[in-house]
């Protein structure tokens, strides 16, 4: 029973390039959350998606960032025209349903480095 | 003011000590409280999950929630070097419009052999 799978584990981009981060939720889970973590800081919520729907994107920067969770395939977090400040660890978590008591399980993260 | 405050540490203890980790919060709507453990360069791993006030015990770990004081704690008994990690508290309200967890900044724990 595989856990939450994220790839790549490490991603290096030059300023101005695009970054695509992928997240495959646990089997049977249809809810995905994306978080960003800067060094020595906690996780900051970015976006919450269900299959084919963005439910809450209140933590997502208004420009350059987008996320999707298609009917088939992994959830994608896309960062266009990356800048040095985008360098961080990006984690996704999945949940089976959207009830308040639902537990979130995290992947191992993608470390994005912008040169 | 952050919604969830957590002392970043580092907290260094000898092996076998009792460890106390704490978080305070300001949002009285938080009802679900979690503790995650995060090893270096790894994803957070769910350790403890509690609802509302009270205690919950699981092996060497005990989670306490005091909603009247807006204060939660995680106790680790007989600490081991393998417990060395960053511990993150997380919370969630019952607000249907806000499903995401809110995290503290994490406390780095070092257990010295």
CB A60 within 8 A of CB A77: no
Least confident of A36-45, B40-49, B68-77: A36-45
Give per-residue pLDDT as tens, B3-19.
899 988 899 999 999 99
B46 touching chain A per CB within 8 A: yes
CB A115 within 8 A of CB A17: no
Closest Cα in chain B, distance from residue A54 (Å): 12
A1 touching chain B per CB within 8 A: no
Selecting from A31, A44, A100 the residue whose C-beta is nearest the C-beta of B32 gives A100
pLDDT the model gives residue A42? 82
pLDDT the model gives residue A9? 96
- By C-alpha distance, which of B74, B18, B7, B71 is closest to B47? B74
pLDDT cut 70: percent of chain A above it: 96
- 10 Å CB burial of residue A91 (0-12, 13-18, 19+) is buried
> Using 50, 70 and 90 to split pLDDT, how confident is the model at B96?
low
Could you give the CA distance from residue A35 to residue A40 in angstroms, rounded to a whole number?
A: 15
Over residues A19-34, mean pLDDT: 95
B103 touching chain A per CB within 8 A: yes
A109 touching chain B per CB within 8 A: yes
- Please provide the size of chain A in residues: 115
Over residues B66-84, mean pLDDT: 95
Three-state SS at A37: strand
pLDDT the model gives residue A1? 52
HEC per residue, B48-62: EEEECCEEEEECCEE
CA dihedral A56, A59, A64, A67 (to 10 degrees): -40
* Backbone dihedral region for residue B81 (phi beyond 0: left; psi -120 to 50: alpha; all else: beta): alpha
Over residues B63-81, mean pLDDT: 95
- Using a CB-CB cut-off of 8 Å, the residues of chain B touching A55 are 99
Q: Determine the residue of chain B that is closest to A48 in CA distance.
A: B100
Q: What average pLDDT is seen over chain A?
A: 92
pLDDT the model gives residue A100? 64
pLDDT the model gives residue A103? 84
């Amino acid at each position: 029973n595989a856990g939450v799978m994220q790839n790549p584990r490490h991603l290096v981009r030059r300023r101005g390039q695009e970054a695509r981060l992928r997240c495959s939720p646990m089997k049977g889970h249809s809810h995905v959350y994306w978080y960003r973590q800067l060094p020595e800081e906690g996780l900051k919520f970015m976006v919450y998606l269900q299959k084919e729907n963005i439910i809450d994107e209140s933590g997502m920067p208004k420009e350059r960032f987008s996320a999707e969770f298609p009917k088939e395939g992994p959830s994608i977090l896309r960062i266009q025209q990356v800048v040095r400040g985008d360098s961080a660890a990006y984690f996704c978590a999945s949940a089976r349903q959207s009830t308040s008591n639902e537990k979130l399980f995290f992947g191992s993260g993608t470390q994005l480095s912008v040169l | 003011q952050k919604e969830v405050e957590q002392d970043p540490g580092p907290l260094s203890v000898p092996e076998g000590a009792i460890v106390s980790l704490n978080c305070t919060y300001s949002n009285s709507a938080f009802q679900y409280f979690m503790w995650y453990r995060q090893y270096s360069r790894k994803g957070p791993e769910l350790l403890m999950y509690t609802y509302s006030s009270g205690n919950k015990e699981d092996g060497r770990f005990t989670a306490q929630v005091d909603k009247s004081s807006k204060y939660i704690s995680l106790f680790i008994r007989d600490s081991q070097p393998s417990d060395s990690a960053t511990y993150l508290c997380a919370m969630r309200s019952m607000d249907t419009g806000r499903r995401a967890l809110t995290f503290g900044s994490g406390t780095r724990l070092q257990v010295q052999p």
